[in-house]
Structure 1
Amino acid sequence: MSRHVRKAQFVTDRTNLYEDITRKIIAELEAGSVPWVRPWAAAKAPLALPHNAATRRRYGGINILILLGAAVERGFSGQSWLTFRQALSIGGCVRKGERGTTVVYTDRFVPAEEIKRASTAGDEARAIPFLKRFTVFNTEQCDGLSADASSIAPSSHMVEPQVEALIRATRIDFRIGGDRAFYCPRNDYVQVPALAAYFETINWHRTALHELAHASGHSSRLNRDLSGGYGTKEYAFEEIIAEMSSSFCCASLGIVPTVRHADYIDSWLKVLREDNRAIVRAASQASKVADYLLGFLPDLGVGAPTLVDDHEAT
């Protein structure tokens, strides 16, 4: 198969994937359900992000949303997943007739003919994108697995000290006061009202994580575009990232996620309807933000994504 044919096939597969995922998430938002919050509102869904039962690594990017949605839709009580071969490798098997869930991995590679061409022409070899789809199964669809294969070790810390420790460890200028929560990109500081302003203590922590997510975009950190003013598509896109990453952090820390800005749903829908790649890019960015913030708590044991790659949303 030629390089041009492979590239065309990749573009087609990727476009179909974006359209399928975007169409589903738009439908959920239109119905008033937020995909990155809903899973933990269901009685069976545990407070954890999807992880691979064989490698113990957490999934990342759009695969988080795919697997969270599958767990809720199909009534799984766990967030542990593995491939057919991985189930066999750890002594179990997928039950006959079980239907798997598709996750994705994208990257780039340089084929041998391209290396040869570049060498002959004196050019730099060009990498070709590729997309792989993997079928994974929830551990509840398997037999013969050990008890610990479907579980992930819970944190031994209380929620509040963890969040407070994370705030200190980031060294982000975090100010308490005023009557509203926000991040100021120009002066690089976060401000959140005092704890007494919140009906529940847990809401203060949710808000803090949301604003820290925004702060992660500063040029000295993850360097995202924070120039969009209120009401712009850029602003709405950044809010999607902050909302998602906050929910991912909450789930990892044992905090039930909520939608902090439900009134933004209309602006989110506008962004997603205009660009079928937006949700994939946002999920990828949100996953990076969560990994960045949770990385300040090394004892949390957060692993790197297992089947997703930084090239996922390119």
Structure 2
Amino acid sequence: MRKTGKHSASGEVGGKRSEALKRSLYSEITDRIIADLERGCVPWVKPWGSAKASLGLPKNAATGRGYSGINILILWGAVIEHGYAGQNWLTFRQALSLGGNVRKGEHGTTIVHADRFIPKNEKERAKAEDTEPQAVPFLKRFTVFNVAQCEGLPDELYSQPEPLPERHIIPHAEALVRKTGADIRIGGDRAFYTPSADFVQLPPQPAFFEQINYYRTCFHELGHWTGHPTRLARDLSGSFGTKAYAREELVAEITAAFTCSSLGIEPTVRHADYIASWLEVLREDNRAIFRAASLASKAADFLLAFQTDAETKMRKGIAA
């Protein structure tokens, strides 16, 4: 019995330590994004200042896998801060495995990985009670480096597609919007999504001061559209001015940024006055930005899944 009690105490201490570390990591990243927003810098729009980063979502240069959720915002923030030209990232060991190395003196960027584990005492409890063990969620830190911080890597890892030129019609964006099958109604002078009737309303494209904003706004509203109960089933019940409304607007805004960036369209903030409501949500809950980014990743993936392989290859060919 004493031995069991010892394991239980150890597990409790370890659990508290893990929870404290997790809270610290949530707070650290949330505080960083709050500081950016307070300066008027929004981490999911085109870099401000002199940075000339290419569009697109960050990915691991060794595996080709894209990052998701909060890690996209973290890595975009690093691209913006340091003016990196590309969105390719590697761990220290991956750089070595590809025949290159991280340059001396370079500092990496911390990203996170959410996982679960079953403590030893929980396994013992479950075995004794003949029940399923309960896993404990945790966040793990990883350090990655932009390929611009490395040398000796294969040349193709440094090359990045140029952004698409601004134009009236972007064919692959039009195709994606059409393939969603969303009920999109053109007319009037307001853009909105109505959950009860499940339709998106948009002003005519020529009504926008910059016609590229038609697509940015469209993907924002389609971000809301993904939350319908028949799709990703998010809470769309919040009325204007409520925290639920602000949280959903944050999800839709980041969804639009992720989708636009994947399509080669420069993301931007739809309405700067949203920043105040976002700040209120983030200051109140240090996990809010993690949830918003995760939900936005799922929403953007939902929209981009309507693209065919042929269209994806065509888009990459156009952007190259």
What's the TM-score, normalizing by structure 1? 0.89
Segments of structure 1 that go 5 or more residues without pairing to the other structure are 302-314
Verify: 1:172 aligned to 2:172, yes or no.
no
Return the match for 1:258 from 268, 274, 281. Answer: 268
Verify the 8 A CA contact 1:155 1:253 in the aligned structure 2.
no
Matched with 1:272 is 282
Verify the 8 A CA contact 2:112 2:139 in the aligned structure 1.
yes
Deviation at 1:104, TM superposition (A): 0.5
Verify the 8 A CA contact 2:95 2:102 in the aligned structure 1.
yes
Matched with 1:209 is 219
Verify the 8 A CA contact 1:80 1:151 in the aligned structure 2.
no
- Structure 1 pair 42–13 and aligned structure 2 pair: CA distance change class (3 A): farther
Segments of structure 2 that go 5 or more residues without pairing to the other structure are 1-6, 314-320
Equivalent position SS for 1:262: coil
Equivalent position SS for 1:120: helix
Aligned equivalents of 1:156, 1:34: Cα separation in 2: 22
Matched with 1:230 is 240
Structure possessing the higher relative contact order (Cα contacts under 8 Å, 6 or more residues apart) = 1
Aligned equivalents of 2:48, 2:62: Cα separation in 1: 23
Identity among equivalent pairs (%): 59
Aligned equivalents of 2:56, 2:48: Cα separation in 1: 9
Matched with 2:88 is 80
Deviation at 1:119, TM superposition (A): 2.3
The structure 1 segments of at least 4 consecutive aligned residues displaced by more than 6 Å after TM superposition are 154-159
- Two-structure CA RMSD over aligned residues (Å): 2.2
Aligned equivalents of 1:36, 1:281: Cα separation in 2: 15
Aligned equivalents of 1:116, 1:292: Cα separation in 2: 40
- Structure 1 pair 111–150 and aligned structure 2 pair: CA distance change class (3 A): farther
Matched with 1:51 is 59
Matched with 1:310 is none
Deviation at 1:152, TM superposition (A): 5.2
Equivalent position SS for 1:133: strand
Matched with 1:292 is 302
Residue pairs, 1:62-77, within 5 angstroms: 62-77=70-85
Deviation at 1:215, TM superposition (A): 0.3
Deviation at 1:9, TM superposition (A): 2.2
The more displaced of 292-301 and 38-47 is 38-47
Q: Deviations over 1:233-253 (max 9, x none)?
A: 010111111111111111111
Verify the 8 A CA contact 1:7 1:129 in the aligned structure 2.
no
Deviation at 1:10, TM superposition (A): 2.3
Verify: 1:195 aligned to 2:205, yes or no.
yes
Matched with 2:129 is 121
Q: Deviations over 1:180-238 (max 9, x none)?
A: 11000111111111112112221111111110000000111111100000000010111
Verify the 8 A CA contact 1:40 1:256 in the aligned structure 2.
no
Deviation at 1:155, TM superposition (A): 9.2
